């Protein structure tokens, strides 16, 4: 439930057509049902669906008393993928518990991708919300856009690596991606055409370890899911 949905401390009204469709068609919800609900950036609990029409759903939410699932301690640096792939990747990233995401320009990112409507804050929010709802999480990831590679690696990367282990996923690296991390980690994933050598070198010079995920070359959204699931 988003802040604007709350009518009072224990009642909420959802009017967003996408979420109403989701309630009807995915959850097959009906008045009287008890559903897991959560306050955006807050706790989760059980709520009762009081009414469900084409234009609104009314909930009674007596108590939100549980914490959402633990976040994944990964700051994900993702070279901006094509818009359709970005939308799906955002959903997976939110569902897998990433709370910090930087979308980065690299040599093989098409400049036109930065003009995509999928990068509008409302669209990013919508894709992240789909992932959060799926995972019964409430904490939205923070998303930063870095449209220039060189200033990013020179000025911002060192600060991001302070107190974090840095990994750059790149096929053919000698070291396999670690499994099940419990330390804060920065993971860089490349664009459809991969990182160029210069970019790999800059990450390595900054202290990142190159890691591979086996000999299969995965498309970006598959790599995002496989790498994050491996770090889980």
Buried/exposed code over 27-50 (b: 16+ C-beta within 10 A; e: otherwise): eebeeeeeeebbbeeeebeebebe
Instruction: List the beta bridge partners of residue 203.
Output: none
Contact between 178 and ligand SAM per CB under 6 A: no
> Residue 89 CB, nearest distance to ligand SAM (Å)?
11
> Residue 78 CB, nearest distance to ligand SAM (Å)?
9
CA torsion sign for 85, 88, 91, 92 is negative
Please identify which residue in 148, 219, 229, 232 interacts with ligand SAM, judged by CB under 6 A: 219
**Do the beta carbons of residue 90 and residue 131 sit within 8 Å?**
yes
Contact between 195 and ligand SAM per CB under 6 A: yes
**Do the beta carbons of residue 66 and residue 77 sit within 8 Å?**
no
Q: Which stretch binds ligand SAM (CB under 6 A): 27-35, 95-103, 130-138, 186-194?
A: 186-194
What are the residues whose beta carbons fall under 8 Å from the beta carbon of 90, sequence distance 6 or more?
101, 124, 127, 128, 131
Contact between 84 and ligand SAM per CB under 6 A: no
Contact between 166 and ligand SAM per CB under 6 A: no
> Residue 126 CB, nearest distance to ligand SAM (Å)?
24
| Nearer to ligand SAM (CB atom), residue 90 or residue 169 | 169
**Do the beta carbons of residue 167 and residue 187 sit within 8 Å?**
yes
Q: Which stretch binds ligand SAM (CB under 6 A): 33-41, 86-94, 131-139, 193-201?
A: 193-201
């Amino acid at each position: 439930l988003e802040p604007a949905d709350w009518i009072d401390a224990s009642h909420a009204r959802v009017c967003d057509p996408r979420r109403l469709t989701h309630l009807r068609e995915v959850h097959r919800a009906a008045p009287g049902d008890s559903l897991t609900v959560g306050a955006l950036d807050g706790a989760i609990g059980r709520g009762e669906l009081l009414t469900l029409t084409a234009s609104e759903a009314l909930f009674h939410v007596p108590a939100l008393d549980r914490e959402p699932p633990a976040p994944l301690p990964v700051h994900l640096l993702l070279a901006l993928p094509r818009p359709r792939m970005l939308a799906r990747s955002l959903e997976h990233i939110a569902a897998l518990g990433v709370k910090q995401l930087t979308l980065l320009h690299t040599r093989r990112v098409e400049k036109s991708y930065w003009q995509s409507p999928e990068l509008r804050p409302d669209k990013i929010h919508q894709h992240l919300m789909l992932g959060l709802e799926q995972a019964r999480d409430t904490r939205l990831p923070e998303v930063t856009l870095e449209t220039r590679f060189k200033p990013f690696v020179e000025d911002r990367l060192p600060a991001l690596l302070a107190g974090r282990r840095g990994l750059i996923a790149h096929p053919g690296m000698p070291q396999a991606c670690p499994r099940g991390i419990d330390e804060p980690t920065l993971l860089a994933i490349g664009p459809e055409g991969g990182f160029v050598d210069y970019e790999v070198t800059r990450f390595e010079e900054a202290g990142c370890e190159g890691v591979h995920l086996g000999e299969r070359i995965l498309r970006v959204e598959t790599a995002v899911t496989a790498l994050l699931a491996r770090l889980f």
